[in-house]
């Protein structure tokens, strides 16, 4: 299993820069977007991707700004661009856990999508100014825009 702040730090040096950006709105890396449905985080990739694991951590005020795992799936699956994944709808071929979140204390979300070869991996990172506002019914893109459709980096609402 890949830990976002262990061996993967060497693989993803941009994380170190993002972690240092406290109090700023910051999003980055991989082609993905997030939304929410009640206390469930929804994730979508914006390019087809063959995955062997998906691992996610959140940073919250409750945890004292420590990173806490909420998502740990493994197996073999193809994630299709624009297809929404969540606790009740993750791709066939993957097994594991996908927990609900307390969005009132959420400060950051980090999701690592790992392919068969770790060089095929990518990460999507979302930080807020204080609290991270994950929209319901809309999509927060890795470039910081909020859109009405999951994989649209050019339109805002």
Extents of the domains making up the chain? 8-147
Report the chain's mean pLDDT, rounded to a whole number.
79
- pLDDT of amino acid 154: 52
Task: For residue 60, give both structure tokens.
Answer: 């919250």
pLDDT attached to residue 8: 42
Q: Residue 117: its pLDDT value, please?
A: 74
> What is the pLDDT at residue 44?
95
C-alpha–C-alpha distance, residues 1 and 47, integer Å: 23
pLDDT of residue 35: 96
pLDDT of residue 148: 94
Radius of gyration of the chain measured on its C-alpha atoms: 14
Q: Is the pLDDT of residue 11 over 50?
A: no
Where does the pLDDT of residue 7 fall: very low under 50, low under 70, confident under 90, or very high at 90 and above? very low
How distant, in Å, are the alpha carbons of 39, 67, 92, 153 from that of 28? 23, 17, 27, 12
Q: Which two tokens stand for residue 13?
A: 């040096």
Q: Which of 6-15, 27-36, 51-60, 66-75 has the lowest mean pLDDT?
A: 6-15
């Amino acid at each position: 299993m890949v830990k976002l702040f262990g061996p993967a730090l060497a693989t993803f040096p941009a994380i170190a820069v993002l972690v240092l950006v406290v109090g700023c709105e910051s999003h980055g890396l991989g082609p993905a977007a997030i939304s929410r449905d009640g206390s469930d985080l929804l994730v979508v990739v914006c390019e087809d991707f063959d995955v062997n694991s998906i691992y996610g951590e959140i940073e919250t005020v409750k945890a004292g700004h420590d990173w806490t795992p909420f998502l740990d799936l493994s197996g073999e699956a193809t994630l299709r661009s624009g297809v929404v994944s969540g606790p009740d709808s993750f791709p066939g071929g993957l097994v594991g856990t996908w927990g609900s979140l307390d969005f009132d204390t959420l400060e950051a979300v980090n999701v690592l999508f790992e392919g068969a070869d770790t060089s095929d991996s990518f990460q999507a990172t979302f930080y807020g100014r204080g609290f991270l506002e994950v929209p319901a019914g809309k999509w927060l893109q890795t470039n910081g825009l909020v859109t009405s459709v999951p994989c649209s980096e050019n339109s805002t609402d």
